[in-house]
Amino acid sequence: MSVPDGAYRTVERCRICGSARLDPVVSLGATPLANAFLAAERAREPEPRFPLDALRCARCYLVQLGVVVRPELMFSDYAYSSSASAPAVRHFDELASEVVERFDLAGRRVVEVGSNDGVLLASLAARGARVLGVDPAARQAAIANARGLETIVGYFDRATASRVVAEKGRARLVVANNVLAHIDDLHEVLAALDALLEDDGVFVAEVPYVADLLDRVEYDTIYHEHLSYFALTPLRTLFSRAGMELFDVRRLLVHGGSIRIYVGRSGRRPVSDAVPRTLEEERASGLLDASAYDRFAARVWASRRALLDLLRRSRREGHTIAALGATAKGNTLLNYCGIGPDLVSFIADSTPLKQGRVTPGMHIPVRSEEAIAAERPDLTLLLAWNYADEIIGRFADYVSGGGRFIHPVPIARILP
């Protein structure tokens, strides 16, 4: 299907430093939008596909996509719900516990950017914070509002920040989990933060860490919603340009490897040793070198070949194969590798909004998680591989009955 005029633009300059020196990292072909699940009756309709290429800025080292798809095409009918993932719920509850205690948030205003269905807002509110969410996905915002977690439908920009300040006052904390990577105009976000935060306010954000993406060959985390792939070095450049300062950083296991950053106005808070240590680790490890990305591209191709070899061999031997986790990154993997219903008969997922639909591009039907127990496939491809340990424990009966899982990255292998 041809892409409508104006549906996307080509990136010509780095969104942090403005450099035109953008070097290719890897090309994953032209793919449909990763969360654009289709109703089953529309499976034969053509879908728009967009180039999926990653580039690296030679000046500030930000990794970013080569195109920007119009946000409303991706987020107006968003099918992801944070509350559907038990590990995500636990993670957000732990985050809420930390920030409420560390930054004395009881009775203070907290704004969450990209608040989805309110799972983090609920944990913050339960600990005494006065919460407000901002999210462009009307469906998820409606769920949060129905739970009594006030959520504004819209994007986080200076206009939204000014509205919040006028109606609610300034915020002690602004938090954004897996949001910065979705935003094209990062400098607009920083201007909004400057307007919204109290003088000693704090911005806390989590982003997938590009060091883990490279090390573990997590190419499936590249999709059109994720415009940027961050190391700490380009983030320091971004915030310093706005008079803000990274004062702490933590490595996390979530989403295949992430960092949590803590930002305030320059000079307001002591800088943790973790910040200069992480910056030096990035330099010393070669993460900022072009050669690291050349090796990554070669490993991506090897990963694809190994997974396809395993799936095709298993099917030739008569094994039945399903998948678990109708994830956005799973759709990058399926489309890049060309894995369709001939190799994977269905995908089981816990999200009701996705069940009964088919995946974008490859059109594999999505069913409830109970389908694994009902069908008992010989092998189940872990598209939500970042939760592999939790999934294998939860599906102990399936494993004890002989079922096994395929972990797709960095090189496909069978578990347990």
Residues 384-412 have pLDDT tens digits of 999 999 999 999 999 999 999 999 999 99
Predicted confidence (pLDDT) at residue 149 exceeds the cutoff of 90:
yes
Q: What percentage of the chain exceeds 70 in pLDDT?
A: 98
Instruction: Bin 170: left if φ > 0, else alpha if -120 < ψ < 50, else beta.
Output: beta
Residue 75 scores a pLDDT above 80:
no
Percent of the chain's residues with pLDDT above 90: 89
Query: What value does the mean pLDDT take over residues 168-196?
Result: 97
Buried/exposed code over 93-121 (b: 16+ C-beta within 10 A; e: otherwise): bebbeebbeebebeebbbbbbbbbbbbbb
Give mean pLDDT, residues 243-267. 95
pLDDT beyond 90 at 22: yes
CA–CA gap between residue 137 and residue 63 (Å, rounded): 26
**Peptide linkage before 341 cis (omega within 30 of 0):** no
Judged against a pLDDT cut of 80, whether residue 5 lies above it is answered with: no
Which carries the bigger pLDDT value, residue 1 or residue 11?
Answer: 11
Model confidence at 72, pLDDT cuts 50, 70, 90, reads: confident
User: Which strands make up the sheet holding 151-153, listed edge to edge?
Assistant: 151-153, 130-135, 109-113, 171-177, 197-208, 258-265, 244-252
CA angle 178, 137, 125 (to 5 degrees): 65
Peptide bond into 408 cis (omega under 30): no
Report the 10 Å Cβ neighbour count for 131: 28
**What pLDDT sits at residue 268?**
95
pLDDT at 345: 98
From 42-46, 152-156, 221-225, 259-263, the region with the lowest mean pLDDT: 42-46
Please determine, for residue 253, whether its predicted confidence score (pLDDT) is greater than 90: no
- 98 pLDDT band (50/70/90 cuts)? very high
Q: Is the pLDDT reported for residue 108 higher than 80?
A: yes
DSSP letter (8 states) at residue 5: T
* 76 pLDDT higher than 70: no
Structure tokens at 67: 């195109």
What is residue 79's predicted lDDT score, i.e. its pLDDT? 57
Question: Which sequence spans correspond to the domains of the chain?
Answer: 82-290
Band of residue 80 on the pLDDT scale cut at 50, 70, 90: low
Residue type at position 127: R
pLDDT for position 11: 98
| φ/ψ of residue 292, rounded to 5 | -65, -35
pLDDT 10s digits, 292-331? 999 999 999 999 999 999 999 999 999 999 999 999 999 9
Per-chain mean pLDDT for the chain? 95
Q: Rounded to whole angstroms, what are the CA distances from 267 to 199, 249, 252, 382? A: 11, 16, 26, 45
Q: Render pLDDT for 262-289 as a digit per residue (tens, 0 to 9).
A: 999 999 999 999 999 999 999 999 999 9
CATH number of the domain at 82-290, out of 3.30.479.10, 2.160.10.10, 3.40.50.150, 3.40.50.1970?
3.40.50.150
Give the C-alpha separation, 365 to 312, whole Å: 19
Average pLDDT for 18-37: 97
Is 203 within 8 Å of 196 (Cβ atoms)? no
pLDDT, tens only, 235-247:
999 999 999 999 9
pLDDT at 78: 59
Instruction: At 104, list the tokens.
Output: 């004395």
DSSP 301-341: HHHHHHHHHHHHHHHHTT--EEEE---HHHHHHHHHHT--T
pLDDT digits (tens, 9 = 90+) for 371-390: 999 999 999 999 999 999 99
Spatial neighbors of 343 by CB under 8 A, at least 6 apart, are 311, 312, 315, 321
Neighbours of 193 (CB within 10 A): 24
Q: What's the whole-number mean pLDDT along residues 59-81?
A: 84
Sign of torsion over alpha carbons 357, 362, 365, 367: negative
pLDDT exceeds cutoff 60 at 186:
yes
Amino acid type, 216 = R
In this prediction, residues 9-15 reach a mean pLDDT of: 97
pLDDT at 1: 52
Residue 256's pLDDT is: 83
pLDDT at residue 71, rounded to an integer: 86
pLDDT at 84: 65
Closest CA to 212 of 183, 255, 249: 255
Q: Which residues pair with 69 in a beta bridge?
A: 8
pLDDT at 43: 84
